[in-house]
Chains A and B, each alone.
Chain A
Amino acid sequence: MHRSLRLRLLAGSLVWILAAVAIAGFLLADLFSQHVRERVDAELNGHLDQLTALFDIAPDGTATLRMPLSDPRLSRPYAGLYWQVDGGPAGTIGLLRSRSLWDTALAVPGDALADGEVHVHDVPGPDASRLRMMERLIRPAEHPDTAYRLIVALDTRQIDEPVEEFSTLLSIALGVLALGLIAAAVVQVGVGLAPLKRMRAALGAVRDGHARRLEGDYPQEVQPLVDELNTLLAHDEAMVERARTQAGNLAHAVKTPLSILANAARQDSSDLARLVDEQVGDARRQVDYHLARARAAAAVQQAGLKTPLRPVLDGLIRVMSRLHAERNLHIAVADVADTLTCRGDTQDLQEMLGNLLDNACKWAATQVAISAAIHDGQLAVHIDDDGPGLSEAQRSAVLARGVRADEHTPGSGLGLAIAHDLARVYGGDLRLDTAPLGGLRATLQLPAA
């Protein structure tokens, strides 16, 4: 459970809500039943006072009521409210009784009471009921030696019923409240954690190459994290850019002296000059190859880049038509939709396609054909020429070691190998086949974005 923030928050809320509702329910039910009991006792006390007031000893010595008690329940049999008078000279049980007692008498615990003292009992009553009973001992002033017990009693069902009813209602209300609170907690956790979810989606977009930064406004608790991540992404980008610039500077620093050496060597026909010429060529190939590798290593560390294919192709075709102007090649682009994009950096895509196109233009007799499509999340670019092509053995040698297929063609001959390496780094591939035009078909596969 400690793995899920959401579960943790929900479990916390759940415990809190259930505990609060249970305690509140218990306290409220208790308070209510206490209140009902007090009210009942007050009512009984009222009836007892009335009974005491109406109780009278007739001149003939018999106990009597000056008038009937007012509550109508007292005259309905087993209505739940009763009164009774015990005692008298003979200590009779049920000397006087309410009509509601019908033919029974209340059994009063035989305790001793001081004069005027009020006692409360819970006793069995008629009709299998429990009774709440209140009694008082009086001695009429006229007959000070005779004690009378005045008793009123109420069926406890009159107490329990409203308490039960209230408890049921209370349970329902509290249940609904608890459910409402739980639902609110779920919503709150959902809303509270939404920025994190949004951030995860934004990070996913960066990883998938749909965005370069985490975008949007986040709550102030999350914003610092987002800012840190964005700074990290920018730092990454800057590092790659710096590495690239340094590689470029290194190239510049090495290649100019190489040019000078090579030019000087060609002015001369000694063995030394030949050696220098040869080694300069070798050094150049090494520099080119390792620069390309360094570039490739930096390439994919950068997250969140996507490059549309079409502008890159168009730019390179403009270059090809200049670099190979003397060849009068026809460079045809078929079916390359503007919407085709691949994951990764523009410069790397330029590097791969540039090398492939340059190679095709170098070898083509009259035409180069370019087409592209997306299959299974992979962007495949075909670059065909109508040149001599490569044999099976030459193809694997060209890709594997980056050696020249033909030492007599200008250029380093590393283009295909460099494109192959870069494509691999990107999780793509470069395949060489025979083109429909008869020459070489280079198929560059890259993850589409």
Chain B
Amino acid sequence: MRILVVEDEPTLAQQLTDALTDAGYAVDRADNGLDAHYLGDTEPFDAVVLDLGLPQMDGLTVLGKWRSAGRAMPVLILTARDDWHQKVAGIDAGADDYLTKPFHMAELLARLRALIRRAGGHASALLNCGPLCLDTRNSQLTRDGQPVSLTSHEYRVLSYFMHHPGKVISRTELTEHLYAQDFDRDSNTIEVFVGRLRKKLPEGMIETVRGLGYRLIEPA
């Protein structure tokens, strides 16, 4: 899962990046409205954490531009402005959630998880597929009720599959959603992680669709 963090205060931006990376997300950062708009408009993000008071272009304008261009990724506004007037303006501009500073990092993570989940049409924090059950709150995978240990890379790949069960996912899409922009992307590593995951999952659950990519299917 790839998150865009838009925050002009460098220390806070770093804290957010660290916390999100620890939680298994790939994080891109922007510290002004113009960069934020460009990134959100050109890269596929699974969620955005957006500050409102930004240099060059304010957050609400950025959000409005994304929405009118049809960019539908979930956006969580993170701002110090806590008047309800601002919250109404933020939600009406197309935000999906609104968190005010100072905030608890745990709450931010919980809200982000929920946003990503709801964007994929999942009502619960537990993602199920056949014998697999992924708890997004604590990154735990169980297979037939037995815990399965995953490395953080494996978790990221599986999490993306579990959020989009049955959908054909190309290597490029996986790469784009699993790595930040400045990461040295190599689609061979994706193949390595998929290979390792296959060993931990029931046979045939990750299907290769020739020339297109992979698909997570429920075993018959």
Contact = CB atoms under 8 A, between A and B. Distances in A.
B51 to A, nearest CB: 9
B92 interface: yes
A187 to B, nearest CB: 51
B83 A248 contact: yes
A258 B15 contact: no
Size bracket of the B interface: 20 to 34
B12 A260 contact: yes
Contacts of B88: 315-316, 318-319, 350, 354
Q: How large is the interface on A (under 10, 10 to 19, 20 to 34, 35 or more residues)?
A: 35 or more
B84 A259 contact: no
A318 B91 contact: yes
A323 interface: yes
Contacts of A253: 80
A326 B91 contact: no
Interface string B70-112: 0000000001111111011001100111101111110100000
Contact of A322 (B9, B85, B95): B95
B92 A410 contact: no
A288 interface: yes
B28 to A, nearest CB: 20
B152 to A, nearest CB: 19
A58 interface: no
B53 interface: yes
B82 A288 contact: yes
Nearest to A347: B85
A61 to B, nearest CB: 130
Interface string B100-130: 1111110100000010001000000000000
B11 interface: yes
Contact of A326 (B12, B85, B105, B114): B114
Given A260-B9, A315-B92, A323 B83 contact: no
20 contacts: A252-B81, A256-B12, A256-B80, A258-B102, A259-B103, A260-B9, A260-B11, A260-B15, A263-B15, A263-B105, A316-B84, A318-B88, A318-B92, A322-B91, A323-B87, A325-B97, A350-B84, A350-B88, A355-B84, A410-B107
Q: When A and B form their complex, which 5 residue pairs have the shortest distance between CB atoms, in order from nearest?
A: A354-B84, A255-B80, A315-B88, A252-B80, A259-B102
Interface of A: 248, 251-256, 258-264, 266, 280-281, 284, 288, 295, 315-316, 318-319, 322-323, 325-326, 346-347, 350-351, 353-355, 410
